[in-house]
Amino acid sequence: MESQYKANMDGVVMRSTTDVKMEVMKPNKMRYYGMGLRIVGLVFTLVAAVVGGVNKETKMMTLSIFQTLPSIHVPVTAKWFYMSSSVYLVVSNAIASSYAAVSLAYSVTRDGSNKNGSVLPLLLLDLIMVAMLFSANGAALAVGEIGLHGNSHAHWNKVCNVVKNFCVQSGASIVMSMLGSFAFLWLVVLASLNLHKRCGQFGN
């Protein structure tokens, strides 16, 4: 294929049309990867927020105070907003899904030039989402571990043997949130690699 520019008087060979096309295609390819990851993050964080936000279970427990007295039945209700870790998980995923929707709309409407001025703010916001989601996942996992196994040293009894469906749904919400967290993490990795590559081109 012929060159777009021929060698100049100083003997510097200009780029060929193939090189120019490759430089146009690569940013678009990175852009599509980023949009796909934002869709994945949006879906998983939205599902995590919904599954965690509707989590509720009521069970009847039988209590016997004295052996001579008949047992009594007491309803026990577990709701997601009874624990601050669950509230943090649901709110964090709601924020992340809203941000994913807005950033996806922005990625679709922008021209795809991938200028540093447009990439850097998204990179910083993606980093905030990663930190927020992983901290929420860690808090929910810690409380879930206590609910599943208890803590004999602190004399905290396990509760998942009573409200099994509540714990299963909480676990599903955490799994969805973790998958969404990794989607945002890959967004950060791709944006960082893209910035590093273009900074290297400018340096050369």
Query: What's the domain range around 162?
Result: 17-56+83-199
Render pLDDT for 16-61 as a digit per residue (tens, 0 to 9).
Answer: 444 444 443 455 777 888 999 999 999 999 999 999 999 999 988 8
Give the mean pLDDT of 58-72: 77
Decide which of 68 and 82 is more confident. Answer: 82
CB of 172 closer than 8 Å to CB of 51: yes
Average pLDDT along the chain: 83
- How far apart are the C-alpha atoms of 32 and 104, rounded to whole Å? 11
Give the mean pLDDT of 100-121: 76
Render pLDDT for 142-166 as a digit per residue (tens, 0 to 9).
Answer: 999 999 999 989 888 899 988 999 9
**Residue 43 forms part of a structural domain:** yes
Q: How confident is the model at residue 69 (pLDDT cuts 50, 70, 90)?
A: confident
Decide which of 128 and 121 is more confident. Answer: 128
Q: Is the pLDDT of residue 122 over 60?
A: yes
**pLDDT value of position 199:** 66
- The number of CA neighbours under 13 Å toward the Cβ of 17 is 4
List the one residue out of 159, 134, 152, 163 whose CA is nearest residue 48: 134
**Residue 71 forms part of a structural domain:** no
**pLDDT value of position 1:** 46
Tally of domains within the chain: 1
Give every CB contact of residue 77 below 8 A, 6+ residues apart in sequence.
56, 57, 58
Q: How confident is the model at residue 130 (pLDDT cuts 50, 70, 90)?
A: very high
**Residue 67 forms part of a structural domain:** no
**Residue 38 forms part of a structural domain:** yes
- How far apart are the C-alpha atoms of 54 and 72, rounded to whole Å? 29
Decide which of 2 and 111 is more confident. Answer: 111
**Residue 68 forms part of a structural domain:** no
Q: Beta partners for 58?
A: 77
**Residue 25 forms part of a structural domain:** yes
Burial of residue 3 (number of CB atoms within 10 Å: 0-12, 13-18, 19+):
middle
